[in-house]
């Protein structure tokens, strides 16, 4: 290999890419270390002020009613358990609006059978434009549950239809394959009680693979058995425990997961609801809310709460994981670029001056630098132009700092929530945090580059449903109906009735 001679211009380019690659890794990891530093104090403060006994029973009278929106497309395997989980939430006043977006499997039939749903002649107030709604169902046994059956338009269109049907001032988005803990809704709604300017709040997403769920209850917390979900578990810990928790105190949070988030309905309607011309409708809405509210010079808060947990199934096969990461990268760019002026607004605040440039440079354009950096190091090593010193520096930047960040996330998990308390689990997670830097991280960088290239070349399309193969091996359904939760009443008033109009500014 040492006999191979490269043109001098190519050598200069490859050596230059080494430095760019090195600076990129140092920059992004130092940024995350600073966020981690903020998160440590944030979690300590949160656990002190919002511990397990934080929610007094007397506060339940002040908790606002919430409409839980569950968009579903071909979710026959998981949708019944998810709705049963929602029915068991310890929350005084809520409704569940499942939106069946043109499913071609047995999703609709499964819901009708499980919850005794019948067609109900309810008025449909189209405050946001959507694909036509075919039918609306109500449950004869569970008055909290309604079902909207509509023509397929994508997840964003399904959520907009759910917003049109929502009766309450706050709506909570929950994916159809998700399981909430009994107090998750109470905790994620808490910022709206503490700060009247709150317009959105999000919670933590955890991976349910390997766990056991029975009739909507999480009966046993365990680690995933397969390697891919294990790698994703480490990613989720990094993303939520210091990635989002670090931005939240300075009101610079740009992402609320589409799997679990609460929004003030009227503010979302005011900005036009979810956009259907993007594959990342959840992040795009949050970025647009920041941009619009900054432009209007309103006082507002978009926050992250670290302990309301939502459990979701992670992809277990490479094809589904690849499709997910490609979509995420497309959605990231489709969220940032249309709102790029926020970086230069006079009142852009921390979100415009810090979070937006960081996300654009390191998360948006990062895959180009990362992939070219790996390629340049590999080529220089093959031709014998990479010194041992340079290789060690590269190894420290790309692997050492990554392992440090992952172990810090594990430490935050151990200091706070301790969902994986056994020593064997912690040792396994530490091993996974090291192994993921050799192959898995490079593979996800390549997939993100594909997503970036699809965005650049205009292969964007409209908001579609990501095709993720659901295994639902965590689900054990006895077939028993869940017990009624909370006060039971049927509110037959259509959307836009007196209660809804009273919440309109």
pLDDT band at 300 (very low <50, low <70, confident <90, very high): very high
pLDDT for position 496:
34
> Span 209-232, mean pLDDT?
87
- Quick check: 482 pLDDT over 60? no
Query: Which residue, among 58, 324, 300, 282, has the nearest Cα to 175 in the 3D structure?
Result: 282
Res 301 pLDDT > 90: yes
In the beta sheet, which residues pair with residue 312? 207
For 242-265, b/e burial (b = at least 16 CB within 10 A) is bbbbbbbbebbbbbbbbbbbbbbb
Cβ-proximal residues to 458 (8 Å cutoff; 6+ apart), any chain = none
* Residue 2: predicted pLDDT: 53
How far CA 83 is from CA of 93, 142, 169, 176, 258, in Å, comes to 16, 11, 21, 8, 17
- The mean-pLDDT minimum among 62-71, 259-268, 398-407, 464-473 falls in 464-473
pLDDT for the residue numbered 483: 52
Report pLDDT digits (tens) over 78-104: 899 889 989 999 899 999 999 999 999
**Considering only CA atoms, which of 82, 338, 303 is closest in space to residue 194?**
303
| Count of C-beta atoms within a 10 Å radius of residue 413 | 19
pLDDT mean over 394-411: 82
Q: Is the pLDDT assigned to residue 242 strictly greater than 90?
A: no
Angle, alpha carbons 369-325-104 (nearest 5°)? 155
DSSP-assigned letter for residue 355:
I
Burial per residue of 418-428, b for 16 or more beta-carbon CB atoms within 10 angstroms, e otherwise: eebeeeeeeee
pLDDT in tens, 13-69: 777 777 888 788 888 888 988 898 888 888 888 777 766 555 555 566 789 999 999
**Per-residue pLDDT averaged across 380-408, rounded?**
80
Write the class of the CATH domain 60-349+463-490: alpha beta
Q: Which strand ranges, in their side-by-side order, compose the sheet holding 475-476?
A: 217-220, 212-214, 475-476
C-alpha span between 208 and 224 (Å, rounded): 8
DSSP string, 379-436: HHHHTT---HHHHHHHHIIIIIHHHHHHHHHHHHHHHTT-SS-SHHHHHHHHHHHHHT
Percentage above 90 pLDDT, the chain: 54
The whole-angstrom separation of Cα 445 and Cα 464 is: 23
**Average pLDDT for 263-277:** 96
Question: Is the pLDDT score of 209 beyond 50?
Answer: yes
Q: What confidence tier does 285 reach under pLDDT thresholds 50, 70, 90?
A: very high
Integer Cα distance of 475 and 181 in angstroms:
15
pLDDT mean across residues, the chain: 85
Mean pLDDT value across residues 270-290: 94
Q: How many residues does the chain have?
A: 505
Helix or strand (DSSP H, E) at 188: helix 184-194
Average the pLDDT over each of 204-213, 421-430, 496-505 and give the range with the smallest value.
Answer: 496-505
Q: What is the arithmetic mean of pLDDT over 336-346?
A: 90
């Amino acid at each position: 290999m040492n006999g191979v001679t490269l043109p001098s211009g190519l050598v200069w380019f490859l050596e230059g890419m080494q430095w760019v690659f090195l600076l990129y890794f140092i920059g992004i990891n130092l940024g995350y270390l600073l966020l981690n530093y903020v998160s440590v104090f944030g979690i300590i403060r949160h656990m002190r002020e919002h511990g397990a006994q934080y929610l007094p029973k007397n506060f339940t009278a002040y908790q606002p009613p919430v409409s839980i929106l569950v968009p579903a497309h071909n979710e026959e395997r998981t949708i019944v358990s998810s709705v049963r989980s929602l029915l068991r939430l310890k929350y005084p006043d809520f409704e569940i609006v499942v939106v069946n977006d043109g499913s071609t499997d047995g999703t609709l039939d499964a819901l009708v059978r499980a919850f005794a749903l019948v067609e109900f002649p309810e008025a449909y107030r189209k405050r946001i434009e959507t694909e036509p709604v075919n039918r609306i169902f109500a449950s004869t046994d569970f008055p909290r549950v309604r079902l909207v059956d509509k023509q397929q338009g994508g997840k964003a269109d399904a959520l907009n239809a759910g917003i049109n049907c929502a009766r309450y001032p706050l709506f909570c988005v929950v994916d159809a394959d998700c399981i909430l803990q009994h107090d998750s809704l109470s905790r994620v709604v808490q910022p709206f009680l503490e700060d009247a300017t709150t317009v959105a709040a999000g919670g933590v997403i955890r991976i349910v693979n390997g766990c056991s769920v029975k009739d909507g209850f999480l009966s046993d917390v365990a680690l995933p058995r397969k390697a891919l979900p294990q790698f994703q578990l480490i990613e989720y810990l990094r993303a939520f425990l210091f990635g989002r928790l670090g931005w939240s105190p300075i009101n610079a949070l740009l992402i609320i997961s589409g799997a679990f988030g609460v929004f003030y309905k009227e503010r979302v309607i005011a900005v036009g609801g979810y956009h259907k011309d993007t594959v990342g409708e959840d992040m795009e809405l949050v970025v647009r809310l920041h941009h619009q509210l900054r432009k209007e010079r309103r006082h507002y808060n978009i926050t992250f709460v670290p302990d309301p947990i939502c459990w979701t199934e992670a992809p277990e096969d490479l094809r589904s994981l690849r499709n997910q990461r490609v979509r995420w990268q497309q959605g990231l760019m489709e969220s940032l670029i249309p709102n790029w002026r926020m970086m230069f607004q006079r009142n852009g605040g921390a979100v415009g001056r810090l979070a937006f440039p960081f996300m654009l440079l390191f998360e948006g354009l990062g895959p180009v630098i990362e992939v070219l950096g790996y390629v340049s190091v590999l080529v220089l090593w093959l031709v014998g132009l990479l010194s041992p010193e340079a290789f060690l520096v590269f190894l420290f930047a790309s692997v050492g700092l990554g392992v440090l960040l992952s172990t810090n996330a594990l430490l935050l998990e151990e200091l706070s929530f301790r969902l994986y308390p056994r020593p064997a689990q912690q040792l396994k997670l530490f091993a996974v945090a090291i192994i993921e830097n050799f192959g898995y991280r490079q593979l996800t960088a390549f997939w993100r580059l594909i997503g970036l290239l699809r965005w650049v070349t205009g292969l964007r399309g409209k908001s579609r449903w990501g095709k993720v193969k659901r295994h639902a091996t965590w689900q054990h359904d006895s077939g028993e109906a869940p017990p009624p939760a909370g006060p039971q009443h049927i509110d037959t008033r259509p959307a836009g009735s007196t209660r809804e109009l009273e919440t309109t500014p």
